[in-house]
Structure 1
Amino acid sequence: MASRGAIVKLDQVYKSFGSNQVLKGVSFEVAKGEMIAIIGASGSGKSTALRCIDRLEVIDRGSIEVCGIRVDDPAIDLKQLRLEVGIVFQSYNLFPHLTVEENILLALKHVKKLATAEARQVALRVLEQVGLKEKAGAYPEQLSGGQQQRVAIARSLAMSPKVMLFDEVTSALDPQLTGEVLRVMEDLAAGGMTMLLVTHEMAFAKRVADRIIYMHQGKVWEVGGGEMLDAPQTPELRAFLDNGL
């Protein structure tokens, strides 16, 4: 577990969709600046846990706290939570009729209420951070999948979140484009960004993550460093890793 100064805390979180109980008492903490990789088979609850942290899903019971905000509080200020937490999905969700720069400017101007000149400075800075400053005037259809995903990451970074969530952001990309995106995420981790990453990229998780959480059947099954991928403590993790991962 992380220290008492944890920036993300899940305590006995349960979540069902109808009769399907997806999360069955999930508890873990993330310290500031920590990079956590969450692994597990499809249906193990990884993505649902991430979506609950950003309150895209409302939990049934338990508690979640992020940056001092009680996410399970019915009176939560969602705007404040979304300023603290950035989330990037497998699908890029870019507006096709807007340029790369305009996609990033949108929230800066309408949510953060920045003046256009200041918002443009921020947009160009985060585009440079992901290696795409020269694409500011391009439209999404003119970019590769990897470039679009990097724009999606830049759009989240522009809001200056304290925590970044990544939900299988490379699963739709070929190996070369996957490498582009993983390099950006590795740079973020090196820069001290607090990150939770749902991924099937085991080599990346082993190399970059401070800790790895293995989820199985809606529960946290194993937690450890990269060495747990070489020496799993449970037959379930061993079987998961043996199945071509």
Structure 2
Amino acid sequence: MNLARDAAVQPSQSAASPAHTVVELKDVHKSFGNNQVLKGVSFAIPKGQVVAIIGKSGSGKSTALRCIDRLEIIDSGTIHVCGHAVHDPAIDLRQLRQDVGIVFQSYNLFPHLTVEQNITLAPKAVKNLPAAQARAIAARTLQQVGLADKAQAYPEQLSGGQQQRVAIARSLAMEPQVMLFDEVTSALDPQLTGEVLRVIESLAQGGMTMVLVTHEMEFAARVADTVIYMHEGKVWETGPGDMLKNPQTAELRDFLSHGL
């Protein structure tokens, strides 16, 4: 089993070497108390690539994603993202989070602010952009996510899918080099899920480097350059999207046959 798993990891690592690598995890370990969640996770992502991380609940996929943005601090190993040593206690988190955008399952929009105000808040506060420039960026990112007419709406006036697209626009407004998506459609019904996935797919076509933790297998197979299957805190199998049609390990076959 180990040989099959280790062999399967190699394509992702070798594929990263010719291009400029923007995300790299090496032998990352992370525990919460006595619960060891990540057990030596390693993978690399070249610029412009889309990586989908799949696996059962508790496999470590969301923890790995949160470690990339240093929302969780790793116990050992190294993480480099856009030139930042994320494992370094002295890292400048302000600079890291200008380069890395993250969108969660929950939208985390401020209900008392308009869509435009939600989006312009960080560019003005973090980048010190003048209000007019921040509004122009908000208009552009809302156009990207198909909500150009919703700038003056409040979150409660939007559907869940629209709120999630505003959350994506808010991250894009910081002009990140990498976008992270953590189960962003899991709270949405199928129609609204489709709205959000189309936005993510358009970002992929535009060359945005992205890491998606997702349970949408068909979407992962279609959009991802590389799929990483995590099992028991390890990278168990990895390959191109069509590996989901021909899994090499019993664990991935079992996961796909039972769905979530």
Which residue of the other structure, out of 147, 150, 174, is the alignment partner of 1:132?
147
Structure 1 unaligned residues grouped into runs of 5+: none
Provide the secondary structure at the position in 2 that maps to 1:182: helix
Which residue of the other structure, out of 56, 68, 71, is the alignment partner of 1:53?
68
Structure-2 residue corresponding to 1:31: 46
**In 2, Cα distance between equivalents of 1:166 and 1:227:** 21
Structure-1 residue corresponding to 2:108: 93
Within 5 Å, which residues of 2 pair with 1:87-236? 87-236=102-251
**In 1, Cα distance between equivalents of 2:218 and 2:127:** 37
Give the counterpart letter for 2:17 in structure 1: S
Q: CA deviation at 1:182?
A: 0.2
Give the counterpart letter for 1:12 in structure 2: D
Structure 2 unaligned residues grouped into runs of 5+: 1-12
Q: CA deviation at 1:103?
A: 0.2
Give the counterpart letter for 2:206 in structure 1: G
Within 5 Å, which residues of 2 pair with 1:39-78? 39-78=54-93
Greater fraction of residues in helix:
2
**In 2, Cα distance between equivalents of 1:152 and 1:53:** 19
**In 2, Cα distance between equivalents of 1:191 and 1:227:** 22
Q: Which stretches of structure 1, 4 residues or longer, exceed 2 Å deviation after superposition?
A: none
**In 2, Cα distance between equivalents of 1:170 and 1:145:** 9
TM-score of the pair, normalised by structure 1: 0.99
Q: CA deviation at 1:58?
A: 0.3
Q: CA deviation at 1:68?
A: 0.8
Provide the secondary structure at the position in 1 that maps to 2:235: strand
Q: CA deviation at 1:3?
A: 1.7
Q: CA deviation at 1:244?
A: 2.9
1:242 paired with 2:257, answer: yes
Percent identical across equivalent pairs? 74
**In 2, Cα distance between equivalents of 1:86 and 1:224:** 25
Which residue of the other structure, out of 79, 96, 99, is the alignment partner of 1:84?
99
Q: Deviations over 1:117-148 (max 9, x none)?
A: 11100000000110001000000000000000
Provide the secondary structure at the position in 2 that maps to 1:240: helix
**In 2, Cα distance between equivalents of 1:126 and 1:227:** 31
TM-score of the pair, normalised by structure 2: 0.93
**In 2, Cα distance between equivalents of 1:244 and 1:3:** 33
Provide the secondary structure at the position in 1 that maps to 2:111: coil
Q: CA deviation at 1:227?
A: 2.0
| RMSD between aligned residues | 0.7
Give the counterpart letter for 1:97 in structure 2: H
Structure-2 residue corresponding to 1:7: 22
